[in-house]
Amino acid sequence: MKKEINGKTKIIGVIGKNIENSLSPLIHNQIILKYSLNFCYLPFQVTETNLTKTIQGIKALNIRGVNITFPYKEKVIEFLDELEESARRIGAVNTIVNNKGFLTGYNTDVIGFKKSLQEDGKFVIKEKKAVILGAGGAARAVVYALLEEEIEEICIFNRTLEKAKKIKQDLSSFFPKSHISVFPLEKEDLKNKIEKSHLLVNTTSIGMAPRVDNTPLPDEKLFHPNILVYDLIYHPAKTLFLRQAERAEANVINGLPMLVYQGIESFYLWTGLKPEGKEVLEIVRQIA
Ligand X SMILES: NC(=O)c1ccc[n+]([C@@H]2O[C@H](COP(=O)([O-])OP(=O)(O)OC[C@H]3O[C@@H](n4cnc5c(N)ncnc54)[C@H](OP(=O)(O)O)[C@@H]3O)[C@@H](O)[C@H]2O)c1
Binding site for ligand X (CB under 6 A): 70-71, 73, 109, 112, 134-139, 158-160, 163, 203-206, 208, 232-234, 255, 258-259, 262
> Helices in the chain by DSSP H: which ranges?
24-34, 51-60, 85-90, 109-115, 137-148, 161-172, 187-195, 240-247, 256-271, 277-287
- Shortest distance, CB of residue 103 to ligand X, whole angstroms? 19
Cα–Cα distances in Å, from 204 out to 19, 38, 91, 94, 141? 16, 36, 17, 16, 13
C-beta closer to ligand X: residue 109 or 120: 109
DSSP 160-225: SHHHHHHHHHHHHTT-TT--EEEE-S-HHHHHHHHHT-SEEEE-SSTT-TT-TT--S-S-GGG--T
Whether the Cβ atoms of residue 98 and residue 62 lie closer than 8 Å to each other: yes
C-beta closer to ligand X: residue 4 or 96: 96
CB within 8 Å of 170: residues ≥ 6 apart: 89, 91, 140
- Shortest distance, CB of residue 272 to ligand X, whole angstroms? 22
C-beta closer to ligand X: residue 80 or 259: 259
C-beta closer to ligand X: residue 11 or 201: 201
- Shortest distance, CB of residue 186 to ligand X, whole angstroms? 12
Whether the Cβ atoms of residue 182 and residue 161 lie closer than 8 Å to each other: yes
Residues marked as catalytic: 73
- Shortest distance, CB of residue 163 to ligand X, whole angstroms? 4
